[in-house]
Amino acid sequence: MRNPEQKFEALVPPRESGDMPEKPDEKKEAPLSPEEPYITIGEKSVSFLGVEIPKGEGGRLVPKAEEFKEEYFYLEGHYILMREVATALLFNKPILLEGGTGVYNKTTTIARMCQLLNMNYCKINFDRETAREDVIGGHTLKVDENGKEKLEWYDGDLMYAIRNGGVAFLDEYNRQSKLAGIINPIIDAILNGRKEITNPYNENERVRIHPNFRLVAAQNPPGFEEGHEYTDRSQLPAETFGRWIYRKLPVEYSEEEQNKLLAGIIGEDVEIEITLEDFRGKVPTKEEFDEKVRAYHEKRKQRSSDFIPGEVSTLVHIPGMIHWRKNIIDIVRVLEAKSTGAKREMAKNQRQNLYFNPRLIMSTIPKYIATFYNGDINETVKNAFETCIIGMYSSEEDKQKIRMMLDQASWRPSAAESKRKGPEREAKEQPKEKEEEKAETKETKESREIADKIVNELERLLEEGADKNYVAWGLAGVGTHEAMLMRERLLKEGADKNYVAWGLAGVGTHEAMLMRERLLKGGADKNYVARGLAGVGTHEAMSMRERLLKEGADKNYVALGLAGVGTHEAMSMRERLLEEGADKNDVALGLAGVGTHEAMLMRERLLKEGADKNYVACSLAGVNTEDGFDFRKKFFGDNPAQAAESFETGCSVTDGVICRYGYEG
């Protein structure tokens, strides 16, 4: 058994030294943990992507397992972060993590590592109002055995960890608060490699730094970064910065990552893109790893086949939940963009900043749905927003905007009469709903099959000599990996960048957005890129539209490229484009595929304001709602040609996308 002093000093990378930490007895290995195969919890050690750390000796600051009851799920980034922190712990190097709030749950991840490692964990926030007596310690008045009063020193959590070992997690490290001024001299001494520090608050007591004391810090980037503003953060001086292992993390999750994370949390089977190359130190064999990955997926699949009230990890079994997973993320992203920063459109008159804790999406809202689901997913999600988000806004107008967004995003089951109405009906209709679930999966499978067919067919046509530009165009709406590879190939082989950009219509994946950026850098016409954003209503796409407009893209192209996007944000952009002089006909045409009530009202208004009836008719492509049919009857009932035109689908990429893949909104 190692004593606490030996615990870390003995650590060296397992492959390089004979003085290896004791290997966990593989035969006696702990049962498969939820993190297997990426984190292996042995009896005496824990390995994070192969970086093996012996467990500690405990202490009063070791986080308790029950503190981590929340449903969690780790992405690749979490595991890589843990590996890097584990490496820093192993080599006794301080590590500084810089990234956006909530990205890879830095605080919880480090606390969880300490819990798994049985190590003290002490978090100090430089940003709030805790004081020296909370963190370092102070004096209390005690009465000794002779009845004499005397002052006695007590340790705050940081001093306790310095004396007894453990991880001190310095949050908001680059904030210059009063507390930072008090703690930084102590931290600087530790960073300088001192073995002892002076405690000026206790008669200059010399305190020996425990050999297992480790420093981990986290901060947001100072100033502006990727559209985020972090005020009151200062740049670290070179000499301080140089003492840390600096690890840069993203400022925010991409939409794709958020979707993947929430998908994992609600119980969908999500692929983790970690390979053997990501392991260090103790690398498992390929067979071992593949087997554990299989077991991991098997275990997730076996968790439950039905929704269990209160269980977040079974939410995936509620019909419509996958639809809402995407929309919750989308709506919160839009709200965040609109409600923060100096030029915010919402919460304009509120002096208090509205911060959207990432836990809102990943924890609070799913927990709310799992607990209060009443058989109607739309109503439950709306109630969750009322309780978790709408209350933050003081203006009635803002609240209504959010409610409208939720209405527009509502899930509509394919068979309208099967919409769930309450738990009583739920029991009776279970078999029917099982069918719906199957239909949803079947639909995804079918979409995938269609996409594969299109790519294969286009491959064949290309080989037979089809024009590369038409092939690029024909890929519209297909966002599979194979389709993206084909686009890359077409570009390499000389296809026109503008056609490739236009042919990205309907594809809103992160990969597609990156390709758009690359095409723009490579000289593609802004107007084609704008037009090729049709069918993509993500926050990222909306930001790109705004940027293109600022950089001089034609308003009419941007309006056309809004086809298929019926979100509140897109409707507001249309209004603005009209105000700024965009052609009514192009705005009308760019309403193609959008069947919301708001869109129908806009069509009606455009007609009244003189838009060409033919364009408005064409804008009904892909709109097969009751409202759509009523509109056709009302405005084109006397003109069969226009009425027919309103069903037209094949003349443009935009229409093609909409009719092949439906519309957002």
379 binds another protein (CB under 8 A): no
| Chain centre distance of CA 405 | 20
Size of the site for another protein (CB under 8 A): 48
Stretch that binds another protein, among 297-305, 326-334, 352-360, 591-599 (CB under 8 A): 352-360
Closest to another protein by CB, 157 or 540: 157
Minimum Å gap between C-beta 450 and another protein is 41
Name the residue among 362, 533, 329, 326 with its Cα closest to residue 440. 326
392 binds another protein (CB under 8 A): yes
Minimum Å gap between C-beta 538 and another protein is 24
Report the C-alpha gap between 297 and 302 in whole angstroms. Answer: 9
Of 6, 387, 430, 456, the residue at the interface with another protein (CB under 8 A) is 387
Q: Are 191 and 151 in contact (CB under 8 A)?
A: no
395 binds another protein (CB under 8 A): no
630 binds another protein (CB under 8 A): no
Minimum Å gap between C-beta 138 and another protein is 6
Closest to another protein by CB, 81 or 390: 390
Q: Are 173 and 188 in contact (CB under 8 A)?
A: no
Closest to another protein by CB, 122 or 486: 122
106 binds another protein (CB under 8 A): no
Q: Which two tokens stand for residue 196?
A: 């002892």
134 binds another protein (CB under 8 A): yes
Query: The dihedral of CA 426, 428, 429, 435: what is its sign?
Result: positive
Q: What is the DSSP string of 632-664?
A: HHHHHTT-HHHHHHTT--SSSHHHHHHHHH--B
Minimum Å gap between C-beta 433 and another protein is 25
Name the residue among 254, 332, 201, 289 with its Cα closest to residue 541. 254
341 binds another protein (CB under 8 A): no
Name the residue among 276, 320, 316 with its Cα closest to residue 300. 316
Minimum Å gap between C-beta 157 and another protein is 5
Minimum Å gap between C-beta 227 and another protein is 18
Minimum Å gap between C-beta 222 and another protein is 16
End-to-end CA distance of the chain, in Å? 62
Name the residue among 382, 484, 449 with its Cα closest to residue 660. 449
Minimum Å gap between C-beta 359 and another protein is 7
CA angle 321, 260, 377 (to 5 degrees): 10
Mutual orientation of helices 597-608 and 626-636 as an angle, nearest 10°? Answer: 10
371 binds another protein (CB under 8 A): yes
Report the C-alpha gap between 232 and 617 in whole angstroms. Answer: 54
Question: Three-state DSSP class for 49?
Answer: coil
138 binds another protein (CB under 8 A): yes
554 binds another protein (CB under 8 A): no
Q: Are 283 and 50 in contact (CB under 8 A)?
A: yes
Q: Which two tokens stand for residue 324?
A: 């809402």
Minimum Å gap between C-beta 139 and another protein is 8
Stretch that binds another protein, among 137-145, 451-459, 582-590, 657-665 (CB under 8 A): 137-145
Binding mask 48-87 for another protein (x = CB under 8 A): ------------x--xx-xx-xx-----------------
Report the C-alpha gap between 495 and 470 in whole angstroms. Answer: 9
Closest to another protein by CB, 157 or 583: 157
130 binds another protein (CB under 8 A): yes
Per the DSSP assignment, residues forming a β-bridge with 46 are 41, 53
Report the C-alpha gap between 111 and 272 in whole angstroms. Answer: 22
User: Which residues from 247-306 bind another protein, rule CB under 8 A?
Assistant: none
Q: Which two tokens stand for residue 591?
A: 């309403």
428 binds another protein (CB under 8 A): no
Closest to another protein by CB, 4 or 138: 138
351 binds another protein (CB under 8 A): yes
Name the residue among 170, 160, 282 with its Cα closest to residue 218. 170
Query: Which residues of the shown chain bind another protein in the complex (CB under 8 A)?
Result: 60, 63-64, 66-67, 69-70, 101, 111, 123, 125, 127-131, 133-134, 137-138, 140-141, 152, 154-157, 350-357, 359, 364, 367-368, 371-372, 387-392, 394
